[in-house]
A and B are shown apart, each in its own frame.
Chain A
Amino acid sequence: MKLIILFFFISITSAFSQTDFVKWEKADFSYEQPVEQTRRDYSFESANAGEFITKSLTNAYWFFISDVDGDNCPFRPSCSVFLLESVRETNVFQATFMFFDRFTRDVNLFKGKNHYPRLKNGYYFDPAVNYTLVSEKINYLPPGFVVDD
């Protein structure tokens, strides 16, 4: 029931977004079909030694394994990017715990049911900031919510 209300609420607010509520200008419209951004950031840019090591390992993992072993991760950010984000948000140790927790949640076969918000392309949106144990940082989004990326 709550879900329905939430949906209703979201749809009401979006219905109000009429076009001429902002003074618009000529739009540059491209004939091209949109290309999904799946490019990976292979740079080694990092703030500290821990992040550098993780980033190097991740790059190698992407290059030799992840790119050729098929699409196995239903989450976005993917597991490896989640680890990178975790290191950036916290430290190597905490990030390891976050990573294993994510791993466990990935093992759960019923993860999709009424749990995660989704991206437009269907992936579950599950950013690392929600797991740093800092309540203020948690950005809760209801399941079924479609995240604009």
Chain B
Amino acid sequence: MIKFFSIIILISPFFYCQSDSFDFFSSQNIKKFADHLYCEGDYLRAVEQYQSIQQSISDDTTDYKIIYAYSLTGYLQKSNELFKSISTESDLYPAAHLLSLKNQLLLNRKSILTESGVSDDSVYLRNLNKLRIISMLYDEEMTYSHERFTYTFDEDEKIPVSKLYDEKFNPPNKDAIAAGVLSAIIPGSGKMYVGEWGDGIAALITTGLLAFLAVDNFEAGHDTRAWIFTALGGFFYIGNIYGSVAAAQIFNARIDFEFNAALNLFLEEKNYFVPVYDFCN
């Protein structure tokens, strides 16, 4: 009996310790913790944890999560460097490839026409094609006709895509020279043509008033004053012609800005045609 208890006594704490021995920094636990951080949206920390165990645990889901987290947190270059290590055999390769193209587009807004698909997954190839075609809008030249351009897209995408195409290659720009010439003929009219009605009226009033004051003073024989008003009026007159040209340029810059904002917004809404995976539920 005593022997029996002695054995229990000797063994039990030993077992107890064993079962309770806990290593926060075992690969398994680091991975668990990293998964938790990832799902919490603490991406940078998750990546740090994943990378600390990359030697021992390596699977393509983790690799994909890392490049995804890097992309999301804005480390686009890093994300793309790690993309190279993903095997083309992996199930996640298509998503990773599209993600790398998204990064590339975010880094430099330029077309990615030369990219070709690796697997024959049809959804992937279709998304790749969409991304390639829409990225052409970042370039100045276009070889595709309107019809060919919109052909690849789904029905609900066709309208915004076609609108973007039109805005890019038929922008409602204003002619800077015309604005200048108009203001030379009637002060302020160039600004009004550009849509700056307030500035145009202000220009018309200032030059008009100064011209009136100059004439009035010449007639009254106040030559010095008259010349001062003439000079001032002249400066306002030329300044307005100059300003009308500048305003037309700024107007065009605005058109360009709004086009890019709309294009980026469209791509953002479509997540750059990158499929979204939920690794957390």
Task: Provide the bound-state CA to CA distance between A104 and B236, in Å.
Answer: 7
Chain B residues near A135 (CB-CB < 8 A) = 249, 252-253
Of B41, B236, B256, B262, which one neighbours A140 at CB under 8 angstroms?
B256
Is A120 on the interface with B (CB-CB < 8 A)? Answer: no
Task: Provide the bound-state CA to CA distance between A110 and B239, in Å.
Answer: 19
| Chain B interface mostly | helix
Chain A residues near B265 (CB-CB < 8 A) = 5, 8-9
How far does the Cβ of B178 sit from chain A's closest Cβ, in whole Å? 15
Known contacts A104-B239, A105-B199, A108-B199: does B261 contact A18 (CB below 8 Å)?
Answer: no
Is B113 on the interface with A (CB-CB < 8 A)? Answer: no
Known contacts A96-B235, A98-B239: does B201 contact A133 (CB below 8 Å)?
Answer: no
Chain A residues near B42 (CB-CB < 8 A) = 20
How far does the Cβ of A23 sit from chain B's closest Cβ, in whole Å? 7
Is A89 on the interface with B (CB-CB < 8 A)? Answer: no
Asked if A142 and B257 make an inter-chain contact with CB atoms under 8 angstroms apart, the answer reads yes
Known contacts A103-B236, A138-B253: does B44 contact A20 (CB below 8 Å)?
Answer: yes
Pick the interface stretch among B4-12, B21-29, B220-228, B240-248: B240-248
Asked if B261 and A21 make an inter-chain contact with CB atoms under 8 angstroms apart, the answer reads no
Is B115 on the interface with A (CB-CB < 8 A)? Answer: no
Chain B residues near A68 (CB-CB < 8 A) = none
The residues in A between 93 and 126 inclusive whose CB is less than 8 angstroms from any CB of B are 94, 96-101, 103-105, 107-111, 113, 115
Q: Which residue of B lies closest to A16 (CB)?
A: B72
Q: Which residue of B lies closest to A21 (CB)?
A: B73
Task: Provide the bound-state CA to CA distance between A123 and B184, in Å.
Answer: 31
Asked if A130 and B250 make an inter-chain contact with CB atoms under 8 angstroms apart, the answer reads yes
How far does the Cβ of B33 sit from chain A's closest Cβ, in whole Å? 15
Chain B residues near A105 (CB-CB < 8 A) = 199, 202, 243
Is A49 on the interface with B (CB-CB < 8 A)? Answer: no
Chain A residues near B206 (CB-CB < 8 A) = 104, 107
Task: Provide the bound-state CA to CA distance between A16 and B43, in Å.
Answer: 12
Asked if A131 and B258 make an inter-chain contact with CB atoms under 8 angstroms apart, the answer reads no
Task: Provide the bound-state CA to CA distance between A5 and B269, in Å.
Answer: 12
How far does the Cβ of B228 sit from chain A's closest Cβ, in whole Å? 15
Task: Provide the bound-state CA to CA distance between A141 and B201, in Å.
Answer: 24
Task: Provide the bound-state CA to CA distance between A130 and B254, in Å.
Answer: 12
Asked if B250 and A21 make an inter-chain contact with CB atoms under 8 angstroms apart, the answer reads no
Asked if B41 and A18 make an inter-chain contact with CB atoms under 8 angstroms apart, the answer reads yes
Asked if B261 and A113 make an inter-chain contact with CB atoms under 8 angstroms apart, the answer reads no
Chain A residues near B203 (CB-CB < 8 A) = 104
Of B43, B202, B264, which one neighbours A104 at CB under 8 angstroms?
B202
Asked if B257 and A107 make an inter-chain contact with CB atoms under 8 angstroms apart, the answer reads no
Is A6 on the interface with B (CB-CB < 8 A)? Answer: yes
Chain A residues near B240 (CB-CB < 8 A) = 100-101, 104
- Scoring A9, A16, A100, A141 by chain B CB atoms within 10 A of each residue's CB, the highest score goes to A100
Chain A residues near B249 (CB-CB < 8 A) = 133, 135, 138
Q: Which residue of B lies closest to A96 (CB)?
A: B235
Is A27 on the interface with B (CB-CB < 8 A)? Answer: no
Asked if B239 and A97 make an inter-chain contact with CB atoms under 8 angstroms apart, the answer reads yes
27 examples of A-B residue contacts, CB within 8 angstroms: A5-B261, A9-B265, A18-B41, A21-B74, A94-B242, A100-B239, A100-B242, A101-B240, A101-B242, A104-B199, A104-B236, A104-B240, A104-B243, A105-B202, A105-B243, A107-B206, A108-B198, A108-B201, A108-B202, A109-B198, A111-B198, A111-B199, A130-B246, A133-B249, A135-B253, A138-B250, A140-B254
